Amino acid sequence: MSEGFGPDAFGSDVGDADVMLDRLHDPPEWPVFTVPLVGGFTIVMHFNSGEEFTTTDYFLTHPDCSQDLVLASDDQDRIGPGLCWPELAALVEAPPGASGVTDPHVRLLVLLPVLGDAAVPAEAMTAVVRALVAQGAPEASEALARHLLQGHPMWGAEGWWFDEDERSWLCEGDHSPRRVPLGDHLPPQQWTALEACLTPH
């Protein structure tokens, strides 16, 4: 997603960035980051490190669900985008007492690759710049934020609309798992909880 921008655009040392990439791409490690949501849901970011390349998968999980939902994956099948801006904005704040990725700025940046929204509002630019600066990027990070908001290069930015009958955002993207209502296989109580996760307050 950061093609054309070096580590210095993020306020990082090149050597430090290389060391971190080596850790993320180390086949025996398979790092996992968890982003806790309300209602018992969690978004799991998983680095699937193979011998030749590393893919990143985002799963939406719940302890009572027998099947996790893939929100996005940059493997050869490419799955995404998995979130529109109103949903991502609703996920920035962690639930009280949660463990995992809880800092609002980090949550925004960790989930940003799942986003692919052709109609992001001006407030999205402001939020991404603030998140980048909070993590050490230079104050003038507008160009980087604008680039990141164009979406992952494997699926880009797509059109979204909210289906009132299905109570779900739907995506026009050919590779998006959100072409069908999110959580339509869940029991009513969990579906309501998932809707609460993704609805701006």
* Complete DSSP assignment for 63-80: TT-SS-EEEEE-STT-B-
Q: What is the tens place of the pLDDT at every residue in 160-183?
A: 999 988 888 999 999 999 999 887
Give the domain ranges of the chain: 7-198
Q: What is the mean pLDDT of residues 32-60?
A: 90
Residue 51 has pLDDT above 80, yes or no: no
Token pair, residue 44, equals 């799991």
Token pair, residue 13, equals 């040392």
Task: Report percent pLDDT > 90 for the chain.
Answer: 69
Q: The dihedral of CA 34, 55, 162, 127: what is its sign?
A: positive
Name the least confident of 65-69, 156-160, 176-180, 190-194. 65-69
Residue 50 has pLDDT above 80, yes or no: no
How does the average pLDDT of the chain come out, rounded? Answer: 91
Distance from C-alpha of 56 to C-alpha of 51, rounded to nearest angstrom: 14
Q: The dihedral of CA 131, 63, 55, 75: what is its sign?
A: negative
Q: Please, which residues have CB within 8 angstroms of residue 7's CB and are 6 or more apart in sequence?
A: 13, 14, 16, 17
How confident is the model at residue 64, as a pLDDT? 82
Distance from C-alpha of 116 to C-alpha of 147, rounded to nearest angstrom: 12
Q: What is the pTM of this model?
A: 0.92
CA 52 → CA 19, 48, 55, 72, 81, distances in Å?
18, 11, 10, 20, 24
Q: What pLDDT band is residue 12 in, cutting at 50, 70 and 90?
A: very high
How confident is the model at residue 201, as a pLDDT? 54
The DSSP annotation for 106-140 comes to HHHHHHGGGB-BTT--HHHHHHHHHHHHHTT--S-
